[in-house]
Amino acid sequence: MPTELSTPDCDGICSSGSKYVRLKINHSRENKAKGFYLLMTNGNTYSDKLDEFIVEKRFIQLLKDNDIDFEELPLNP
């Protein structure tokens, strides 16, 4: 019998009901490189397009704390 995945409490930021978000890292090459490194070394990250990533919502704060410029995109475009 498969185990069901539980979604932790999102403190009001999970408007879509998902614990994941699609992000696009913007602007300079340095900003993109640093953002890519932070996302890839801190947990589960999936990328299907250049500079776009699907990550857990907790990574939003990681990017903000490191002054990485990004925009949040719809999870299902």
Provide the residue type at 45 as one letter: T
Higher pLDDT, 7 or 60: 60
Please report the pLDDT score of residue 4 as a whole number: 34
Please report the pLDDT score of residue 17 as a whole number: 77
Reported as a single tens digit per residue, the pLDDT across 13-60 is 444 578 999 999 998 999 999 999 999 999 888 887 888 999 999 999
Q: What angle do CA 50, 52, 28 make, to 5 degrees?
A: 70
Please report the pLDDT score of residue 12 as a whole number: 39
Is the pLDDT reported for residue 69 higher than 90? Answer: yes
Q: What angle do CA 27, 24, 20 make, to 5 degrees?
A: 155
Q: What is the CA radius of gyration of the chain?
A: 13
Number of H helices, E strands in the chain: 2, 4
Determine whether domain 20-73 maps to CATH 3.30.70.790. yes
Burial group, residue 35, by CB count within 10 angstroms (0-12, 13-18, 19+): buried
Model pTM? Answer: 0.70
